[in-house]
Amino acid sequence: MTTGAFFDINRVNDTPAGTSLQLIQASGGNGTSIMICFSITDREDLNLSFVSGKSHPTSCDNGAWAWSTDRATFTTMASVNTLPATNANGITALRSVVFSGIPALNDARNVTLRYTLSRNAGAPSATRFITIDNLQLNADVILPCPADLTGNDVVNVSDLLALIANWGPCDAPCPPVRPRDPICAGDLDGDCVVNVTDLLDLIDEWGECP
């Protein structure tokens, strides 16, 4: 692992860090990984984005992500390969991984994301590498009062009307959705339909928010 040139794609602000992370796999090093550890307390719907690049077509074929809340048991994200699809030299691309549909990560004190590189036809050369830059972790603040669809710190008739206005199946994409998401405002239980269950949840929270 070393550092290299930086990229402008997915920059957080106008001042880039100045270097990128280069993951180098020595001969026989298939399955080498890095881990990112952090807390997501009081937040939910985690999403990851970053710039990924190849130094050479034979650098690697697969870039797999997995998650854990105990650093012991990891769950791999199925059908997620974040390496650039084109096997051309120096190719870079903005990649993303959606973790927002995983309830176990919401409000988790300890989260570990593991990124594993591999090559289908043998190990890559030790002089070739995969670049990662401008990695962002984004998550939403957990709403203390999910049924407050209008955001005025009280659950009342206005929220009831907002829920009724969206009665029925949610439009795509769903899931995941959030209660105030205009795609499906009122789907309080996240089952992609606004129905009696959501109505009962709203009534249960009736009154001023805590």
pLDDT digits (tens, 9 = 90+) for 25-57: 555 556 778 899 999 988 888 999 888 877 766
- 178 and 95 in a common domain: no
196 Cβ contact list (under 8 Å, min separation 6)? none
Note the pLDDT of residue 14.
61
Given a contact cutoff of 8 angstroms between Cβ atoms, the answer to whether 155 and 199 are in contact is: no
- Residues 14 and 108 both lie in one domain: yes
The pLDDT tens digits of the residues spanning 103-158 come to 899 889 999 999 988 776 655 555 667 778 888 899 988 877 889 998 888 999 99
Contact at 8 Å (CB) between 40 and 125? no
- pLDDT > 90 fraction of the chain, expressed in percent and rounded: 31
Higher-pLDDT residue of 174 and 190 is 190
Q: Quick one: 195 and 167 in the same domain?
A: yes
* Domain shared by 14 and 118, yes or no: yes
Residue 132 and residue 160 share a domain = no
Instruction: Using the 3D structure, point to which of 94, 119, 141 is the last residue of a domain.
Output: 141
The residue that leads in pLDDT, 86 or 61, is 61
The span from the CA of 114 to the CA of 69, in Å, is 11
pLDDT of residue 69: 95
**Residues 56, 132 within the same domain:** yes
The pTM of this model reads: 0.66
The answer to whether residue 17 sits within a structural domain is yes
Specify whether 134 is located in the same domain as 175: no
* 24 within domain boundaries: yes
Q: Are residues 60 and 20 in the same domain?
A: yes
- 158 and 124 in a common domain: no
Q: Residue 146 domain-assigned? A: no
Residues 114 and 191 in one domain: no
- Looking at the structure, tell me whether residues 124 and 180 fall in a common domain: no
Residue 199 belongs to what domain range? 154-208
Q: At what angle do helices 157-165 and 196-204 cross, to 10 degrees?
A: 170
Number of independent structural domains in the chain: 2
Residues 134 and 160 placed together within one structural domain of the fold:
no
pLDDT at 55: 72
37/171: higher pLDDT: 37
Find all residues with CB under 8 Å of 13, minimum gap 6, and list them: none
DSSP assignment string, 76-110: E-TT---S-SS--TT-EEEEEEE-TT-GGGTT-S-
Nearest one of 45, 177, 29 to 187, comparing CA atoms: 177
Determine, yes or no, domain membership for 149.
Answer: no
The lowest-confidence range among 2-6, 92-96, 192-196 is 2-6
Residue 148 located in a structural domain: no
Average pLDDT of the residues of the chain: 79
